[in-house]
Amino acid sequence: MGALDGIVVADFSRVLAGPYCTMLLADLGADVIKVEGPRGDDTRQWLPPTDANGVGTYYLSVNRNKRSIALDLTDPTDLHAARELARRADVLVHNLRPGAMERFGLGYDDVAATNAEVVYCSISGFGPKATLPGYDLLVQALSGMMSLTGSPGGPPYRAGVAVIDVMTGLHAATGILAALHHRDTTGQGQHVETNLLSAALSSLVNQTSAYVAGGVVPHRMGNEHLSLYPYEPMATGDGELIIAVGNDQQFRRLAAALGTPGLADDPRFATMAQRNANRRELRALLLDRLAERPAQEWFRILTDADIPCGPINDVRQGVDLATELGLAPIALADKVPTIRNPLTLSATPTRHDLAPPELDEHGAEIRKWLKN
């Protein structure tokens, strides 16, 4: 049994933030019923890439452990089924535009009127009063995130994955779990709300703090870090190696491993603040030493010296590394390869039982259940 065994989730969400949230709940044991329109979730058509069966891997990435029912909310019979599902659900999640659920009598007030214990989660792009479409790329731009990504003087870039959607899904799941605990304590449901822009600003952590607490507007620094040095890819004799020094003790070990222990006592480099102020001089000295050996040799030497470092892997190499470390990153959801949920719970382990469903794959059984 999973930690959320017995919890029914009515999932009216689509694309990424909502489906990622509900997949996490499903992995923890919840019965997630994915409500799709007649044409299905948009990501069913987001191709390529596809798996061996021609199914889009984007859709597969966030929809395991769910059951699917296709409902046309403009059809009275299907709308009745949707409302009955909402009445029976412990949790309802949607990321439709503000006002869309209300038009079908599925807003929080409507659902709570017949299901007072419901935990109702609304995910929007910019909050309940804004109608801007909530696309991750748009929020990366508007939040300031893109202004931080890229080379100094070069164009801003988006992150290589829809990180704002993912982080918003994580925030939503956390809020839902907190509301379920409150419900278990008090018997009261509640409305959980989050949005992409607020999640983005929270997730920019030290960068937004630099502005609101320090009055500093951060800017693009390429792969460098505003507050840490050395903390970036550095060229070696045959390629780049990430070196991530987070404190003075690590720098002292780095200097010794490079054969230049005096750097740690040099007044220009002895503390993090001094290294940041004199990073150009320090960088030149480090690169001179790193050029003497290939990246893999330095990786071994520096790792043995307990210095955080590593090569820049591609995705395949990242998965292979996790496998080598015994993390078992790949699970089979009914024969469909998937990346394993990263949580390990000793008493209520996560599950990877159901493959991402075909459109309306479970429609008949769900409709039968709703009529009982």
CA-to-CA separations, 258 to 21, 272, 289, in angstroms, rounded? 45, 18, 6
Q: Is 110 a catalytic residue?
A: no
Q: Please tell me which residue in 41, 136, 165, 360 is annotated as part of the active site.
A: 165
- Do 168 and 123 meet the contact criterion of CB atoms below 8 Å apart? yes
CA nearest 69: which of 84, 81, 60?
81
Q: At what angle do helices 163-186 and 136-143 cross, to 10 degrees?
A: 100
Instruction: Identify which of 54, 59, 103, 50 has the alpha carbon closest to the alpha carbon of residue 79.
Output: 103
Q: What's the rounded Cα separation, in Å, for the pair 33 and 66?
A: 6
Q: 310-325: buried (b, 16+ CB within 10 Å) or exposed (e) per residue?
A: ebeeeeeeeeeebeee
Residue 262 CA: distances (Å) to CA of 122, 228, 252, 267, 279: 57, 20, 9, 10, 16
Taking the CA atoms of 350, 199, 315 and 137 in sequence, report the sign of the dihedral they define: positive
Q: Indicate the DSSP class of residue 355.
A: P
Nearest to 274 by CA among 299, 297, 251: 251
DSSP state of 354: S
- The dihedral of CA 69, 71, 76, 80: what is its sign? positive
Tell me the Ramachandran region of residue 29: left when phi exceeds 0, alpha when psi lies from -120 to 50, beta otherwise: left
What's the rounded Cα separation, in Å, for the pair 36 and 160? 28
Question: 357 with 336: CB under 8 angstroms?
Answer: no
Which are the catalytic amino acids?
Answer: 165
